[in-house]
Amino acid sequence: MAGNSSQPGRSVTIRALTLLSTFDATHQRQTLSEMSRRSGFPLTTTHRLVGDLEEWGAVERDADGSYHIGLRLWELGMFTPANAQLRELAMPYMQELYETTRENVHLAVRDRFDALYLDRLSGHRSVPVVSRAGSRLPMHATAVGKALLAHQSQAFVQYFCQRPLSRNTRYTITEPGRLVRELAEVRRRGYAQTVEEMTLGACSVAVPIRDNEGVATAAVGIVVHSVRADLPKLVPSLMQAAQSIEELLRNNGSDVPAARRYTAMRRREPIQPGRPV
């Protein structure tokens, strides 16, 4: 039994990472009890591990006794290839999209079963959304997610659709057969869209970004208010931005680690679930 844990075979490192993974968009601050419950670790184990994480700077303690992710962990995250490389290449084109539309502009990649948002540009005119840089949302309920999911292997799509699909609003597509048909339509027309599937009052449209091997490694999208949504009108600008980013990826070739990482991830399908919650 590793590390005197009630879960045999789990190293101290894995258990510490499991505790960190209990933080997400809806659990940005947690007490020791909450981390213990969400990780499945005894409270005493949680207390000891959190003490080590706090000393290193991975978590910080608030005045009320709860904890949040520390700046040192955030600093390390800024050096990940997906953030430092792909985001840097895409940012000028995201800025052009924002200047043209004044709407939310998203850049996302696939991480297991979620759309992981690398960056977001928005302004006072933009419709409020739940996404932000570093957050993750379900692929089946977001345009960037559908743009990525539609271009995964058939085995992965089938496996994805067999899992329980969250219903974020009454418009979210959760029926496997309907979702498969929707993804086929995404591939046919070249872009994905949602109509209040993630957030009421918000619609979105997105296109995939392909690496130099033709694999959809990322997606760029725009979220607009439902009352002023004209999604097909936004597609040409999105496609132009995606093509420009793809050209930069091709020119950089193997010097773009982000593209290699997500290409490799795609080839390991299907992926078994197992991320701690």
Q: Looking at residue 275, what DSSP letter applies?
A: -
Sign of CA dihedral 160, 162, 163, 166: positive
User: What is the distance, to the nearest Å, from the Cα of residue 202 to the centroid of all Cα atoms in its chain?
Assistant: 18
Q: What is the pLDDT of residue 84?
A: 67
Q: How far is CA 163 from the centre of its chain?
A: 18
pLDDT of the chain, 277 residues: tens digit per residue? 333 444 444 688 999 999 999 998 788 899 999 999 999 999 999 999 999 999 999 999 998 999 999 888 877 776 666 556 788 889 999 999 999 999 999 999 988 889 989 889 888 777 767 777 778 899 999 999 999 999 998 999 999 998 999 999 999 999 999 999 999 999 999 999 999 999 999 999 999 998 877 788 899 999 999 887 789 999 999 999 999 999 988 887 633 444 344 434 444 444 443 333 3
The per-residue DSSP string of 112-135 comes to: TTEEEEEEEE--TTSPP-S--TT-
C-alpha 145/C-alpha 219 separation (Å) is 8
pLDDT at 9: 46
Distance CA 220, CA 242 (A): 7
Dist. CA 220–CA 2, nearest whole Å: 43
Scan for tokens 């969400």, then name that residue: 38
Separation CA 97–CA 91 (nearest Å): 10
Q: Judge if 2-76 and 81-267 fold alike in CATH terms.
A: no
Pairing of strands 216-225, 202-210: antiparallel
* Rg for the chain, CA atoms, rounded: 20
Specify whether domain 2-76 bears CATH 1.10.10.10.
yes
Class (C level, CATH) for 81-267: alpha beta
Residue ranges per structural domain of the chain: 2-76, 81-267
Q: Tokens 């091997």 label which residue?
A: 213
> Whole-angstrom Cα distance, residue 192 to residue 102?
20
